[in-house]
Amino acid sequence: MAHLSLEEEKRHLTLTVDFLKAYNAQLTLQRDNVKKGIRSSREEINEEIATIDADFESGNIYEFIQMLPELRTSEVNFNFIDSMYKRTKRMIPKPYFGKIIVDDEEIYIGTGTIKNNDNDILIYDWRTPVASLFYENNTGELSYTIPDGSRIGAFVSGRRQFIVEDGNLLKMFDSDVYIGDEVLQNMITDSSQSKLKNIVSTIQQEQNEVIRQPLRQDTLVYGPPGSGKTSLALQRIAFLLYQHKETLKPENILLVSPNEVFNDYLSDVLPELGENHVKNITFYRLIGQFPYFKARRFETIYENIRRLREDTASHDIYKFKSSLDYFRTLHNFIESLATAGMEFRDLKDRDGIFISKEKLNDIFYKELGHHTPNKRLFKIRERLLSLYSVRIEEIKEAKFKELNSQNKYIGEQHQLKERAHSFAKDQLKQAHRQIMLFRFVHIEKLYINSITDRQFRNATIRSIKENDFKYEDIAPMLYIYIHLLGVYDRSVQHVLIDEVQDYSNMQYYVMRHYYRKASFTSLGDPNQQIHHVDKDPLVAKNHVQKNLVRSYRSTNQINAFLNSIVPDSIQSVSVDGEEVQKITSDDQTEKIRKILRTEEPPQVAIITSSKASADALYGRLEEEFPQFRNLQEEDTLYNQSFLILPYYLSKGFEYNTVILADAQDYEAEDHIMYVLASRATRHLYIIEQLSEY
């Protein structure tokens, strides 16, 4: 079968959109009618309930019972109609994104299955078995797996991808290789860049080596800015959900991202994932998985970055706690606790000490020493819960005797026993909570004891006493907790870490050990560390490592500027654009105004060197440029094309135009300048402020 021409594809798309609109209108009427019927049935049931005799002798109870299955059927019908209504509404702007010709049959692929009035499939859901052929690396004789596990042979004579917006076909292209990256799609369909077609295919094939790694294979991917790492991560999610659709669900995949806003930024990048998004988390939010640490106040990543920038004296302790040497020391320290050094707390109730730390130490080493430390702690908790039950009975009995000896009437015997039991539980409430959360183990003291440097140890003691834990304290405390208690997540099967270069070895292995049932795909760039203190290189064991070298998102001129900061860091295969604009001015606000008045880019990010600078600049610009939003640290939604933000919030994002304000503040920080400049894809302005306002 010959491929349809562009005009023929446009007509086919128009017919499909018209069908979806008509179908959606029909579903709207059906949904409203069924909803009215359900409401009427519920009102009728309520009336029947009101008239049912208490002795059930009248016949209306039977009428009521007969109405329930009918109501349930109507509700099931409504749910189906409602789901189809939402599906068709979602798909009208973009009914499908691809097509394959399988055994001379055209199969269009979208985010949901749609059938016509004759029950023929117009659009195949990307999750259907035959649609997997769309994501293969070639054409010709192929096969796909059906639900019973058998494979069906098929001849694929063509693969076509579409760029559709608002129901209009903008571009299409044919390729033996599935191109999953939007920028690569645009490059391959740009007639002025037709010479890049083979390069694009090569890039996609390199990415496919990572995307198609087996589920259980740990993979580490390094690549320069603009090499498609984030897009690759999302395509890998789609691939894994394809290949393991029977056993792997979105909730079994975890995306670890650099900040909360980045999670929202990614939410629409890969619509082929459908309505169900994978779970996401940040390393800072990981501490919330452990109730043991609930009352502790930990520094956020943003506070940490600001502190390190403003206080160079704090660099040494941060570097020490993030180092590979301390990680090894901590691991050996935890191993040594099997024979000596375990720290416990006194468990207290309202009357005093429930059990002393000395007694707990004796139980741990003398009575349970033949067990592993992990097993010892769980056995201690079992003993403490038994002791708790005994103490409850003792306090309850004493309180009951006290209440029962009153000369006046204060309640029946069973009421007095209930009061006594409530009193006993209240007396031991704190002790019970400490037992359940393992707070009889003194994690903080163990952490302090693991630090051999006296200066760093004393600084840590002061922070703990003030409940002012630093960001670099999170990883060692979690590592101690996870290893001593053997706790781990049981549901996550695969973890994707973006910006992996921003994590220390200890942070990385905290995640590896907590998500021990999962395999890992980690992506990053050692040249893009946003922190102000260098970290030891990541030691990733038993990983397949892939290195991407080509950058295609930013213009050749921007990539050349990046290479001037970190020589030979990028092989640029992009388009030409304007030169990077370096501007010095005694009034950078006015310079920014002039840029915004003359340029009309679709996206602009003004990046400042601090939150205070971002706030001040926003205040000076908001009246003339109300479209701008001042992005805050606590924001979790990214839905703005015009942003003002401090530099540490820009990680992971990309913008058509970047105006880098306060450039003079990065004179000694080339690695920060490299990260910020790489956020721009088409236009980059670097403004150096010569004097104060």
Q: Which residues of 297-311 are buried (b: 16+ CB within 10 A; e: fewer)?
A: ebbebbebbbbbbee
Structure tokens at 670: 């080339």
Beta strands in 500-630 (DSSP E): 519-524, 544-547, 550-551, 571-572, 581-585, 604-608, 629-630
Residue type, 45: I
Residues contributing to the annotated binding site for ATP:
223-230
Question: 521: which 2 tokens?
Answer: 């795909």
Rounded to 5 degrees, what are φ and ψ at 446? -60, -40
* Six token digits for residue 424: 């006993």
CA distances from 591 to 207, 577, 614, 618, 676 (A): 40, 21, 15, 14, 19
Nearest to 670 by CA among 532, 482, 516: 532
Neighbouring-strand partners of residue 169: 164
Q: How far is residue 524's CA from residue 220's CA, in Å, rounded to a whole number?
A: 8
Strands of the sheet containing 655-660, edge to edge, are 581-585, 680-689, 655-660, 604-608, 642-646, 629-630
H/E stretch holding 361 reads helix 357-362
Closest by CA to 272, choosing from 235, 302, 307, 227, is: 235
Written as six digits, the tokens of 629 are 């939003």
Question: DSSP letters along 615-646, please?
Answer: HHHHHHHTTT-TT-EE--TT------SEEEEE
First to last CA, the chain: 69
- Residue 534: left if φ>0, alpha if ψ -120 to 50, beta else—which one? beta
Q: With contact defined as beta carbons under 8 Å apart, do 126 and 109 qualify?
A: yes
Tokens matching residue 408:
């006046």
Q: Is 555 exposed, middle or buried (CB count within 10 Å of its CB: 0-12, 13-18, 19+)?
A: buried
Could you give the CA distance from residue 577 to residue 61 in angstroms, rounded to a whole number? 78
> b or e along 342-354 (b: 16 or more beta carbons within 10 Å of the residue's beta carbon)?
bbbbbbebeeeeb
Q: Which residue type, as a one-letter code, is found at position 410?
A: I
Torsion on CA atoms 484, 301, 553, 10, rounded to nearest 10: 80
The residue whose two tokens read 């198609």 is: 212
- DSSP for residue 84: H
CA distances from 395 to 383, 421, 422, 430, 433 (A): 18, 8, 10, 15, 18
* Distance from C-alpha of 568 to C-alpha of 202, rounded to nearest angstrom: 20
Structure tokens that stand for 280 in this block: 């996401």
CA 179/CA 622 separation, integer angstroms: 40
Residue positions forming the annotated binding site:
223-230
Residue 561 has which token pair? Answer: 């500027």
Q: How many CB atoms lie within 10 A of CB 262?
A: 22
- What tokens appear for 264 in the block? 């929202």
**Pair of tokens at residue 433:** 């909570």
* DSSP string for residues in 89-127: HHHSS-S-SEEEEETTEEEEEESS-EE-TTS-EEEEETT
